Amino acid sequence: MIFKNAIHLLISHFGLTFKFLLYKVIVLAVAAALSAAFVYPTLQFLLSSAEFAAVAKGDFFGELLGALFSGSEGFWSSFSPEMQTSLRSFGSFLADNASRLALLGVAVAAILLVVRFLNGLGNFAFGSLIDSRMSSNAKLSFSGVYIRNLGRAALWHLVYVPLTFVYDVLVLAVCYLFFVVLFSVISVPAIAAVASLMLSVALFLASQAVKLTLFSHAAPAMITDRLRLRAAFKKSFSFKGEKRFGPLFSTYLVTVIAIMCVNVLCAFATFGAALLVTVPVSYLIMLCVQFVGYYTFEKKKYFLTEDTVIRPKEEKTNDNYYDDFDEV
């Protein structure tokens, strides 16, 4: 029900997609400017070196793929002697330029955090737009909502972005270790590759669904009920006495899988052109699922379309069991 109503809500307010796309383009422009200023000079220095050119001449990526599949044992020996010599030379070059490499890593991490922060501010503002349309069918301007909620959105994402950044890094590390262990355990290479990839991706998708479920009620609580950050976190992480973790987890898992499939298929079918629509739609459907889930479990009525109102179901008893079949 949550997923179905979220789809209806997205279709009813599909015009937000193009505003979201414009915002994403602005964020990408900021990221490109920061990268050109702080990342590109150091990256160009490293990639234009003779040591890197020696590595690039060989089949580095093919040998790296074979080394990764080999697991922890025999990783280095999987490279050819020539590639090992080139890699040692390139490693010495990187060691001599450790300060530049450290600054490059800090710059990349900082830009990623800035981009996630800006994306989060946009998500908060678009969440406010969706909430206003659900609660009162009001159509507010994005710029006004963005500025009005800037302080609370910044406070929320100063906590949310670092937490989820660390979570995602740990998840990727666990997925890689899971992949390597499975590949080394299964003896048949073809079966090992397929099984390792399948289960590692499944683990990644499930972990993302868990993350989305845990944080699902935090932002809507701040936007809809105007709760403070601590109270919003408490409401989001409190599942005691509520049967919402299972429904939310399954909804988010289906949504994540659907988003992944749609974006990959559309990217291949249209040579990437459809991503201009599917990427902002992906973010918006997540917001719709988040707010529909919040309104549903908080037993709030909301506008699904301009002339359709979803009312919360009452607790069914023998007297009113048939009264809430028509919920519109």
Tokens of 247: 């429904």
The pLDDT confidence band at residue 314, using thresholds 50, 70 and 90, is: low
**Backbone phi, psi, residue 27, to 5°:** -65, -40
What per-residue confidence (pLDDT) applies to 322?
47
Rounded-to-integer distance, Cα 181 and Cα 169, Å:
18
Q: Give the tens place of pLDDT for each residue, 11-25.
A: 999 999 999 999 999
Helix/strand/coil (H/E/C) assignment for every residue in 136-203: HCCCCCHHHHHHHCHHHHHHHHHHHHHHHHHHHHHHHHHHHHHHHHHHHHCCCHHHHHHHHHHHHHHH
Tokens of 42: 């150091």
Neighbours of 103 (CB within 10 A): 14
Rounded-to-integer distance, Cα 98 and Cα 63, Å:
25
DSSP 72-94: STTTGGGS-HHHHHHHHHHHHHH
Residue type, 295: Y
The pLDDT confidence band at residue 321, using thresholds 50, 70 and 90, is: very low
What per-residue confidence (pLDDT) applies to 180?
81
Q: Tell me the pTM.
A: 0.81
The pLDDT confidence band at residue 328, using thresholds 50, 70 and 90, is: very low
Does residue 45 have a pLDDT over 60? yes
Domain residue ranges in the chain: 2-31+119-308
* Beta bridge partner(s), residue 303: 309
**Strand 308-310 relative to strand 302-305, pairing:** antiparallel
The pLDDT confidence band at residue 220, using thresholds 50, 70 and 90, is: very high
What per-residue confidence (pLDDT) applies to 61?
62
What per-residue confidence (pLDDT) applies to 219?
93
Q: Give the tens place of pLDDT for each residue, 63-121.
A: 666 665 555 455 555 666 777 777 788 888 888 888 888 999 999 989 998 998 999 99
Does residue 317 have a pLDDT over 50? no
